[in-house]
Structure 1
Amino acid sequence: MKDQNLDLFDPRTAVMDPEYSPSSTRDPDFGFAFNDVNFSDRLLQIEIMADSFDPQSDSDSFHSQSLADWARNRKRRREDIRKEMDTCHSFSALDITACPEEQVISCNQIDTEDVENENQDESVVAMIEEPHSGDEATNADDSSWNFDSPRVVKVETLHISSPILAAKSPFFYKLFSNGMRESEQRQVTLRINASEEAALMELLNFMYSNKLTTNTAPALLDVLMAADKFEVASCMRHCSRQLRNLPMTPESALLYLELPSSILMAEAVKPLTDAAEQFLAAKYKDITKFQEEVMKLPLAGVEAILFSDDLQIASEDAVYDFVLKWTRTHYPQIEERREILGSRLGRCIRFPFMSCRKLRKVLACNDFDHEFASKLVLEALFYKAEAPHRQRTQAAEDSSSTSHRFVERAYKYRPVKVVDFGLPRQQCVVYLDLKREECANLFPSGRVYSQAFHLGGQGFFLSAHCNMDQQSSFHCFGLFLGMQEKGSVTFAVDYEFAARTKPGEEYVSKYKGNYTFTGGKAVGYRNLFAIPWTSFIAEDSPYFTNGMLHLRAELTIKS
């Protein structure tokens, strides 16, 4: 028998097992040692306290409750803990039972900085058992211990290996190696709420085996929160990965974005929060279609949508209007509104692509802090004054950052640069740049509109078309000037359309004339460049410089 037992531990056998190979990238599986006295050096006593609400903490509900139930119970737990904290301010500093959020490692006055609690959302009490001196009853403040202290409803005892737990968790590492006499005691006690029991058991099992038995979103979220509390980053990453593999809904995406944050959690669950943001941005990218629904979303959800480059919106002016409407609905107090706009939502608006007319309104808007608004408007005006190639360089540099404030979205109405003159006659010069892909997408009968611009109090716009020429023999590129106002309004202007083939060259006039607008009609040319569409859009077309078509329109009020 002795020889047979030795064969079981033959080192040659261990080397051949890839699970124990030094080159293996997987964490070793110590599942066989979980709660086994033969592989343990300590006892972990878990005191389970009654929740102040009626938790469904049995194993069945742990696996079957919905995400809505999970969020509702979490909210109730946070509210109950806040009430307990309000009460415990009047208790003795030694009353660890009445102050469930305070984390200590001994019943004596030991420095609590040795064990930090990054997530103060729920209670954790860790204690090292000490021999009783017999003087406790004399020195204790009985009144504090009997003042509605939480009730221990159950005690679980597990055999644990301190090296295994310490290797996975800074919390347990500090607990077992703080250099004090208490850390040498064999029995350690943790105190948790009843609603945390199932998640903690899953977490402890994971620290040994790197596996979870649960696969539902509510249960994984509970384990994620427990892993954050006990600083088990590997388990947090595992839960995050499992949650990303489950079908996502708007409710679950918002829940992931609003998880209580800590430094550890933020890093470990970033792939999960990124996936939630991408889901919301994709679902609500046509914000006009879902405006009522988006208006009801919380701040984190609105941010995820408005930060997206793929947002489908008429113009950045419309983004600005939506942000003001949302903040005025959710933050009626002007001080709160200014804070949210200055620190959060104001950074979702890409001011360089707003019209100058709307930028003037930003400066006069009382919802924004004046200094903040002035800085953003000035930055936007400097960007508009840059040459197109400088703008593209700035956008390329900005696309690698988180702000994307110089990255142009795919607006329904294309941004324009407008220069106004008052003398000798009222005049405006409008610059419209279109990408080659945008022009290509116009074929065979599409059109794209510019943002509105104004002259003499009237609103105008440019529209680029793919048309059939007048003889209907081939497609061609057309450019038109329209007036927004309809009805009996008449407005006479001189106009000129021009284009250029190189950034440093002058614009070359294509067509000019005069026109009196009535009833919302438009004027323009079906074939601006007098060439077929295929020649216009070809790779060697002279009208695209670095993939951009540069157009200019001059409007002057007729004298």
Structure 2
Amino acid sequence: ELYAEGTFSDVTIHTNDTVLHCHRFILAAFSDYFRAMFTNGMAESQQRKIELRHVDGKTMTSIIDYFYGGSLKITSENVQNIAITSSMFNVSEIVDYCCTFLADSLSYTNCVQILIFAELYNFHPLTQIANNYILDYFEKCTGYDTFYEIPYPLLNKILPSERLAVKNELTVLNTLKKWVELDPSIRKDHLVGLLSHVRLAMIPVEQLIDFEEKETLLKESLPCFQMLLEAKNFHYLP
């Protein structure tokens, strides 16, 4: 009621399109950011107007509503904005809600996008959950085009993992091949390093020979060609 009617409001938050009439003690109770702002003894601690023009009004309204006892309606459309904004203002409780929502919504088609998001904003528990999901369902995830949006640093962490669940290492090799071919001008520079993570010697020699006959990109790289040759030779050892 205090919030809805603006009763005894002592501070206003101005976003890109919204003005919110709030109370310092409520903001400080939920947000370390606002607590620090109001108690730092600087001039801003006495300001009655907080300019947050870079913040989306609808997102900030949802967060402030939660502060005043309202329900937080998280959806697939707003979860990332709410998580980012809550993190910006050090509202860890809401960040945790958002990360749990995203973890529960992981699928073969969105796991890479969630991993990228979590890594970008340093949501470490969510990063680990999304990473493990990809490792556990690698063969399923790589069946969708969305997987191949994964950037090199994240792929470079996934391929060498002992947890990577594949029935045949040829799946990993074909995945790497497709990933490079989607943007060869940039990704081929990472080919040698990524190929070193593939356990080529575990691929049946017939499949290696068949792969090599059809493949041109790997054979253009001498180090890659040598790795394929060594893997084939491994099968002929006495």
CA contact (8 A) 2:13 2:51 kept: yes
Shift of 1:202: 1.0
Aligned to 1:46: 14
Shift of 1:278: 3.9
CA contact (8 A) 1:295 1:326 kept: no
CA distance in 1, matches of 2:195, 2:4: 53
TM-score normalised over the length of structure 2: 0.66
Aligned to 1:158: 21
User: SS of the counterpart of 2:77?
Assistant: helix
Letter aligned with residue 114 of structure 2: Y
User: SS of the counterpart of 1:251?
Assistant: coil
User: SS of the counterpart of 1:231?
Assistant: coil
Shift of 1:329: 0.8
* 1:314 has 2:96 as partner: no
1:227 paired residue among 86, 102, 117: 86
* 1:259 has 2:117 as partner: yes
1:285 paired residue among 139, 146, 149: 139
Aligned to 1:471: none
CA distance in 2, matches of 1:314, 1:215: 39
CA contact (8 A) 1:285 1:305 kept: no
TM-score normalised over the length of structure 1: 0.32
Shift of 1:352: 9.3
Structure 1 residues 174 and 160, CA, compared in 2 at 3 Å: closer, same or farther? Answer: same
CA contact (8 A) 2:14 2:49 kept: no
Shift of 1:304: 7.8
Aligned to 1:190: 52
Aligned to 2:65: 205
CA contact (8 A) 1:46 1:191 kept: yes
Shift of 1:184: 1.6
* 1:332 has 2:153 as partner: no
User: SS of the counterpart of 2:117?
Assistant: coil
Letter aligned with residue 149 of structure 2: P
Shift of 1:271: 3.6
**Deviations for 1:507-547, whole angstroms, at most 9, x for unmatched residues?**
xxxxxxxxxxxxxxxxxxxxxxxxxxxxxxxxxxxxxxxxx
Structure 1 residues 285 and 155, CA, compared in 2 at 3 Å: closer, same or farther? Answer: closer
1:299 paired residue among 140, 150, 154: 150
Shift of 1:237: 0.5
Shift of 1:254: 2.8
1:274 paired residue among 102, 124, 128: 128
Letter aligned with residue 27 of structure 2: L
2:33 paired residue among 137, 162, 171: 171
Structure 1 residues 219 and 305, CA, compared in 2 at 3 Å: closer, same or farther? Answer: same
Question: Size of the alignment, in residue pairs?
Answer: 219
CA distance in 2, matches of 1:258, 1:221: 12
Structure 1 residues 272 and 189, CA, compared in 2 at 3 Å: closer, same or farther? Answer: same
CA distance in 1, matches of 2:20, 2:134: 44
* 1:453 has 2:232 as partner: no
Structure 1 residues 155 and 337, CA, compared in 2 at 3 Å: closer, same or farther? Answer: same
Letter aligned with residue 333 of structure 1: S
Letter aligned with residue 62 of structure 2: E
Structure 1 residues 183 and 258, CA, compared in 2 at 3 Å: closer, same or farther? Answer: same
CA contact (8 A) 1:227 1:233 kept: yes
Structure 1 residues 314 and 340, CA, compared in 2 at 3 Å: closer, same or farther? Answer: closer
CA contact (8 A) 1:36 1:160 kept: no
Higher helix content, 1 or 2? 2
User: SS of the counterpart of 1:250?
Assistant: coil
CA distance in 2, matches of 1:294, 1:213: 33
Letter aligned with residue 90 of structure 2: E
Aligned to 1:106: none
CA contact (8 A) 2:33 2:90 kept: yes
CA distance in 1, matches of 2:162, 2:58: 38
Structure 1 residues 169 and 366, CA, compared in 2 at 3 Å: closer, same or farther? Answer: farther
**Deviations for 1:365-384, whole angstroms, at most 9, x for unmatched residues?**
4577xxxx9xxx9xxxxxxx
**Deviations for 1:136-163, whole angstroms, at most 9, x for unmatched residues?**
xxxxxxxxxxxxxxxxxx44241222x4
CA distance in 1, matches of 2:38, 2:223: 53
User: SS of the counterpart of 1:213?
Assistant: coil
CA contact (8 A) 2:59 2:85 kept: yes
CA distance in 2, matches of 1:226, 1:270: 17
Aligned to 1:490: none
CA contact (8 A) 1:34 1:208 kept: yes
1:527-546 map, 5 Å: none
**Deviations for 1:312-367, whole angstroms, at most 9, x for unmatched residues?**
2434x6634642x1343133226x5335764xx467x2559668x99xx99x9457
Shift of 1:201: 0.7
CA distance in 2, matches of 1:257, 1:207: 28
Aligned to 2:97: 238
Pairwise CA RMSD of aligned residues?
4.3
Structure 1 residues 251 and 354, CA, compared in 2 at 3 Å: closer, same or farther? Answer: closer
Shift of 1:219: 2.2
Structure 1 residues 309 and 157, CA, compared in 2 at 3 Å: closer, same or farther? Answer: closer
Aligned to 2:215: none
Unaligned stretches of 5+ residues in structure 1? 1-31, 49-153, 378-414, 419-451, 456-554
Shift of 1:257: 1.5
Letter aligned with residue 179 of structure 1: G
CA distance in 1, matches of 2:112, 2:172: 21
User: SS of the counterpart of 1:44?
Assistant: strand
Unaligned stretches of 5+ residues in structure 2? 213-217
1:36-75 map, 5 Å: 40=9, 42-48=10-16
